[in-house]
Amino acid sequence: MRIVILDGYTENPGDLSWDALEALGELTVYDRTPADQIAARMTGADAVYTNKTPITAADMDAAPTVRFIGVLATGYNIVDAAAAKERGIPVCNIPTYGTSAVAQFTFALLLELCHHVAHHAAEVQRGQWQARGDFCFWDYPLIELKDKTMGLIGFGRIGQAVGNIAKAFGMNVAAYDAHVSAPESVTLDELLSGSDVISLHCPLLPDTQNIINADSIAKMKDGVIIINTSRGPLIDESALREALVSGKVYAAAMDVVSKEPIEPGNPLLGLPRCLITPHIAWAPKESRQRLMDIAVDNLKGFIKGSPQNVVNP
């Protein structure tokens, strides 16, 4: 079996091993694949893995030997899954590897917005503590989370994990998910109007694209905090910028944006109360090793005739 990885660098920049995949066949790993080389690199392969390199119907037609497509991520919109199904190719994703990592990172962002730890630590190094003359100082409002409401749009594995952490901080939890019913469930309008913090954990679908927009922001509390560790296009970034500038939204933290890597003209750049991190919530080594293990198991299952985590059954 010939196995090709089109863009392996972000999953394994050198601190993990591809040995388990190499044990299953002849493995070729490309760090990145330009659009004009996708079909050529797929040609002759039996199994192809991609993270963010798109695979189209035309690419599949140019590489008719491909019998398995693995996605090194949870989201699989970069693969034309319907076209793959028509050609009898299962597309398998990695649905559960990053739950703890993303939930942890969500609170890393929230706590930074509440306490500005990095800023205040830097100010100490600059000599500002000594210069102030008091036993303490702070440059930003400091926010306590207890008794505030965390609104979770999306209440799958990650949303529920974030909810559990929120409860440990003494927060109330409200959740909106069209496919999940739970004691925390409320309508979307109730979540928007009642939450002090709104955190996004839903997939990118036609009905969730731009779910945060001018209209939904208008329904929120004044001074709300918005966090997105899910998918960038869930937010109308121009509308969020206007709300941050006006103060309707107190602060926002994004680990994802509409186009990645971020473009110089992204409307969220340059705002003082908007944290943007480079899509790293998923990336602790432990999480990436879990992803690697599941990716290997997906191919093993296919070889045995029992593919798992198939998104185009």
Confirm whether 241 is a catalytic residue: no
Largest Cα–Cα distance of the chain, in whole Å? Answer: 73
> Which entry of 116, 201, 231, 290 is annotated as an active-site residue?
231
Q: What stretch of H or E contains 264?
A: none
DSSP for 105-117, written as a single string:
HHHHHHHHHHH-H
| Type of residue found at 60 | M
Give yes or no: 260 in active site: yes
Phi and psi for 4 in degrees, rounded to 5? -125, 130
Q: What pairs with residue 68 in β-bridges?
A: 47
Which one of 116, 241, 279, 290 is the catalytic residue?
Answer: 279
Question: Annotated catalytic, 231?
Answer: yes
Strand partners, 212: 235
Distance of alpha carbon 47 from alpha carbon 24, whole angstroms? 10
Q: Which two tokens stand for residue 60?
A: 């599949």
Nearest to 157 by CA among 220, 216, 94: 94
Looking at the annotation, which residues are catalytic? Answer: 231, 260, 279
